[in-house]
Homo-oligomer: A and B are copies of this chain.
Amino acid sequence: MNVSRAADIYREIQQTICQTLEEADGTGKFTKDAWEKEIGTGLTCVMQNGSIIEKAGVNFSHVHGDFNDKMANLLGENAQSFAATGISSIIHSGNPFVPTIHMNVRFFSLDNGSAWFGGGIDLTPSYINPEEAGWFHMIMKTICDKYDSSWYPEWKTQADDYFYLPHRKETRGIGGIFFDRIQASEGADFEKMLNLTSDLANAFPQIYSRLMKDNGHKSFTTAQKKWQKIRRGRYVEFNLIHDRGTKFGLESDGNIESIFVSLPSEVEWVYQYQPEPDSPEAKTQELLKKGIDWTK
């Protein structure tokens, strides 16, 4: 079974992610909660209150079940049953200069013969540093180009479109790559996508370790912390209103603590908050738009 093979590989990578992040943080440790429900099994790894990482969730799951009407609507497929596996992770730092990061790789298989990979990595800084954004996007491009040079531009655009808050008319952050429904039920297609998603998942803790090393020591003011909390409000809005993964988790009666571990700790909503003109906050706000080529 391909789902089991992907699950075995993802399960192992989850361990590597946690170990690398623990080493980079220095203080924080992951608690590991194995869960077992009718829908399947999973391992939720959570770090809270590390020295740089405020909250990190690294979820692995391997699930299966009956295909229901809600999934049919969401996926536009007809089937009797599904099986899926994936790693999903979000890391929030208490330091406003360390971006929030999100990574997800997943393989989804239906008993009608349809099977696909999805995933991506995207970055949400409270303060956008264009040089850092370029460095991050170059890593995404390099991983994609190894398999297909048409993918990075396509998936970069998809990230811009997906990580977008229409009600705010702004992107969630500087994007990254986002792909879904890459059909790969077996053979070379399957191996290629399993390798690509493994490359992404393995790069993820390396990227975050570098972001922590570069920014984790920077001091910040109360006003900068407040700005981070306001930006986190947008993150919560995205996750609760738009994110398909969250919706799917809620629809399929997933483990609620594992789903909501993605939410940042301290968040703030201020009525009609406007950053000072020409401030670093205002500059970040201006860059929260689609179509910026960060690699240039």
* Residues in A lying within 8 Å of B, measured CB to CB: 33, 46, 48, 55, 57, 167-168, 229, 233, 236-237, 240-241, 250, 256-257, 259-261, 263-272
State in angstroms the CA–CA spacing of A271 and B33 once bound together.
11
A269 proximity list for chain B (CB < 8 A):
260, 263-265, 267
Give Cα A266 to B229, complex, Å. Answer: 9
A167-B250, A241-B250, A256-B168 known; A271 and B55 CB under 8 Å?
Answer: yes
Q: Is the CB of A57 within 8 A of B271?
A: yes
Q: For A48, give its contact among B241, B250, B256, B271 (CB under 8 Å).
A: B271
> A269 CA to B256 CA in the complex, in Å?
12
Q: Are A266's CB and B268's CB within 8 A? A: yes
A-B contact pairs, 23 of them (CB 8 A): A33-B272, A48-B270, A57-B271, A167-B250, A167-B259, A168-B256, A229-B266, A233-B263, A236-B240, A236-B267, A240-B240, A241-B241, A257-B272, A261-B271, A263-B269, A264-B269, A265-B268, A265-B269, A265-B270, A266-B266, A266-B267, A267-B267, A267-B268
CB of A274, distance to nearest CB on chain B (Å)? 10
